[in-house]
Structure formats: C-alpha cells, structure tokens
Structure 1
Amino acid sequence: MTTPTPPTWDPAQYLRHAGHRARPFADLLARVPDLPSARPRIADLGCGPGNVTALLAGRWPTARITGYDNSTEMLDRAHVEHAGENLDFAHADVRTWLPAEPHDLIISNATLQWVPGHADRFPDWIAGLRDGGTLAFQVPGNFDAPSHRLMRDLADRHGLAGTLRHQDAVLTPAAYLSRLADLGCAVDAWETTYLHVLQGQDPVLDWVKGTGLRPILTALADDPETRDAFLNDYRQALREAYPATPHGTPFPFRRVFVVARKEGG
C-alpha cells in the first residue's frame, strides 16, 4: 500500500471555483451566534488562501483573527491578499493546534476531513473557548459521490491504494452532535446538498484538481506518464458520471455543518 504523502496546494487552482466554495462558509457563518467578547478572538483552522477568513473580519470588524494553515503556498497568498491590522495568518498543523489564549470562535471550512480522528480534538478546542464561545465547521460529506468513488477506484488501479481519504473521513451530523453535546455544548448540526452548475470543459475534474485530487497529483509529481494516464482515465469517467448540459455541468455536493456553543455564557 502506498504511504500517503502530504499534498501540495495550488492557490490559483483552488480559487478557480472560489464562489461555489465560499457559499457553504457563508451559510455556516450565518448560523454562528453573537460572540461573548466586545473584541473577539477568532481562529480559522485551515484558512487556505484567506478568502473566506476575510469574511470573518467583515462580520466582526473589531475581532483579532488568525488564519492557520500548514501550506506555505496558501499562507503566502493569504498574507499578500488579506492580511491587515486585525487579520493575520500563521503556520500550524490542525492535528496539534491548541488555543494559546481564550477564544470566542474557532471555525473551520472544509479542512477537518483531512485530519484523521479530528473529533478527538474537540475537547481541547472546547476547553479553549470562553463561556458562550462557539466551535463551528463544515466538511464535505460527498465521499460516496461518483467523483470520489471513481477517484479511489482509479487510484487502486494505478497502484496508489491508500493515498486518498475514504468514507469515514467525516462523521454524520448526528455523531457530531452527540460528541459535542457530551462536552456541554448546545449544538446545531445539519447537512445540505448543493447543486453547483459548473462551466467550462471538464469542470468537475477542474474542481477536484484544487482539492480532493491533490494527494494524487502530489504522489505523481515525479511520474508525469502515470499522472497523465490517471487523469485521462479519470476525465473520461467523470464525463460519463457528470454529463454536460446546455446550461453547464450539474455537480451535486453534500456538506455537513456544525455550530456548537459552549454553555455558560
């Protein structure tokens, strides 16, 4: 079995679908309650290129906000385009990150699916919140979708078994609710399936090149022949699974949302 390689990231590729990718974060943010401090302390775990972290500054202009990521490429883009007086970015590994001071909000957008056992981090993060503070996150819930099943099948066929995440990368909304309610939180958990209509040639392939396909592209970076063969097979399979229409290519995408408020505020 192939040992998973930490993926390298391409901010420009990721941002090619920035509008569609930001929509779930906006929907998550709309359900976050008022924060307990006049000048809130906020952490964005897995901030990527910082485009959605900047939305936090719009909601809480007096907050001190730090976006954390382990990708130098993403952090460089975030620093250039979004850093400001109350908004900064820092390198951190979500698997080990701990709040160094009490926080009002710890939020994460489409990151925790990359962290095996991420629910085991909840006790530390809840402990790092002020009373009345919130942990909020959304994760993809589409690991059974054709885009991911086909990717895994082709990875196995091309000798890349074990490179990709599997169906157990995230929990159900009910499981998240249970884990966080046991920690004394009032929990709002739900799921939504977005029907994105993507434009251009092979748009589903273009989408996953920015996210889910990164481990494959990283693993095959030094083997362009195998990489191209994989992409050709995957491209054809995606065209059949997601046929184009005169209006674009419909791409259903299920996501899981959780907003957990620490009781006591």
Structure 2
Amino acid sequence: MKWDPNKYVEFGNHRDRPFHDLLGRVQSSGPRKVVDLGCGPGNLTATLTERWPDARVMGIDSSEEMLLQAESLVKATTSGEQSGRLEFAQGDIATWAPDADTDVVVTNAALQWVPGHQEMLGGWLRSLKPGAWFALQVPGNFTSPSHTLMRQLAESPQWASRLNGVLRHDDAVGSPADYLGIMLDAGCSADAWETTYQQVLPGEDPVLQWVRGTGLRPVLAALSREESADFEQEYSAMLREAYPATAHGTVFSFRRIFAVARKNA
C-alpha cells in the first residue's frame, strides 16, 4: 500500500494536535535518544529536536514515499553543531525493538496498522531501561460512520469479492484500559485516556478527503483506478448524508486513544 505524503498532511492542524497532546504527558527532561515509530512524512518528528535539543531523534517508517519527504526535512532542520541529530530510516514496526540506550519512544497514529501490536507493546516496554518513556496514540473511530459506512459498502454484493478481508476493525486497536493494563504489567507507571475532537472541516466532501489520506488507503490499493472512482462515488454520497455540511463547515467527530508509560526502576 503506497502512501501520499501530501494527502496525509492535509488538515494539518487537526492531524497534528493529538501528537502534541500526547507529548504533553511525556516528562522526560534530558533524553539522549528519541525514536518516532511510524514517523510518516517526518514533519512532527522534526519538532522533537526542538522539544529535546540535546537528543538524537530517529524516525522510522516502512513507506519509501513518506521517508523521501522526511529526508527533505533533515537538511532544513539540522545544521552546524546540530548536524546528525535528526535521522530517518526505513523499517517495519513489527520487527523493531528498542536499543539499550533508547530514552523515549513515540508512536503517533501508526500502531493501528500493525496486527498484534498490543502483544508487541509488552515486549517493547520490558526491553526499555528504567526511566525510559513510551507514548502512543491511535485512532479510536472504527465504529464511527466514516468507517462503518466504508465497511458496509466494501461488504456489499458489488464489492465483497474485491475487498474481502481488506479492512480491519475489530482488532485494530485496544481500549485505553487495555493499553493501561499492558503498561502496568510491564513494570511501568502509566496514564491512559481518550479524547473526542469535534473537528470542523472546510471544503467539498471533506470527510472523504480526510479518509483518502489514511483509512481509505487499503481500499484504493486493492482496486483499479476505475473501480476506485466508482467506490468513492458511492461512498461519498453516504458520507454526505452522515456528515451534512453546515454554514460553518462539516463537523467530523474523531475519537483518539492515548497512553503514556514510564519504566520503573
């Protein structure tokens, strides 16, 4: 599944806010190594060099398209004495493990793409050194109309043969309580919560434009260009009914799940 970095960063203020809300609960004062798992186009990863000026920041992502965009930030972000503080590397989250010197791990809107990540999380936490931090954010909107209508259409007689098994939902993410329990069991002090953002999106068919950058990607990857256009035409009509436009724009409720852990001594 290929990603479009430019499409992904649309609605930047809305997409960026959960990242900053998550980082607000990470109280690491002087980390030396910070890892961003599933860094995407790297724009948010680059802000970690400002948050922790003495840290080496490594962004990891599996998408070549995303990393190509991220690499363009390196030269613009680091120079002189700061050279080498921001790095990006291609890698699979499912096979990643923290190094012994890792102080902070951040993963923002990425783990929902990794089957079995809850089991992996326990192993990552147990591998962290005492005092290290792990912060995650995942979308919790798999029961919202944007996703239920997508699945409903994908499972319809017209599309079922082409899209069977493409969309995950039941096991994509855990609840705040699930992540809290994993973190506590791994010997961490932990905090977990959820927030539903009421986002006012401008423009024509803005919810369709939103999911094109993320949740709709597996569908588009499985269909031809002509089939994708037909699917989107049906899906957009369903979205307009579920999310009617107002004089102020289209209100899009988006639930996010957060969890932050600090490894105990």
State TM-score, norm by structure 2.
0.93
- Give the secondary structure class of the aligned counterpart of 1:44: strand
CA distance in 1, matches of 2:139, 2:125: 22
For 1:58, the equivalent position in structure 2 comes to: 50
1:129 aligns with 2:128: yes
CA distance in 1, matches of 2:31, 2:27: 15
**Aligned residues of 1:102 and 1:128 also touching (Cα < 8 A):** no
1:28 aligns with 2:22: yes
For 2:40, the equivalent position in structure 1 comes to: 48
1:153 aligns with 2:152: yes
- Give aligned-pair identity as a percent: 53
What letter corresponds to residue 11 of structure 2 in structure 1?
H
For 1:199, the equivalent position in structure 2 comes to: 202
1:96 aligns with 2:120: no
The alpha-carbon deviation at position 100 of structure 1 amounts to 3.2
**Aligned residues of 1:134 and 1:259 also touching (Cα < 8 A):** yes
Give RMSD over aligned pairs. 1.2
CA distance in 2, matches of 1:91, 1:182: 30
**Aligned residues of 1:116 and 1:169 also touching (Cα < 8 A):** yes
For 1:111, the equivalent position in structure 2 comes to: 110
1:246 aligns with 2:247: yes
- Give the secondary structure class of the aligned counterpart of 2:171: helix
The alpha-carbon deviation at position 244 of structure 1 amounts to 0.6
Question: Could you list the runs of 5+ residues in structure 2 that have no partner in the other structure?
Answer: none
- Give the secondary structure class of the aligned counterpart of 2:199: strand
- Give the secondary structure class of the aligned counterpart of 1:76: helix
For 2:182, the equivalent position in structure 1 comes to: 179
State TM-score, norm by structure 1.
0.93
Deviation by residue 1:88-140 (Cα, 9 ceiling, x = unmatched): 10001001111233211011000000011101112332233221111101000
- Give the secondary structure class of the aligned counterpart of 1:206: helix
CA distance in 2, matches of 1:72, 1:101: 27
The alpha-carbon deviation at position 39 of structure 1 amounts to 4.8
Query: Aligned to 1:11, which of 5, 9, 17?
Result: 5
- Give the secondary structure class of the aligned counterpart of 1:122: helix
Query: Aligned to 1:76, which of 51, 54, 68?
Result: 68
- Of structures 1 and 2, the one with the larger relative CO (CA 8 A, separation 6+) is 1
CA distance in 2, matches of 1:115, 1:128: 19
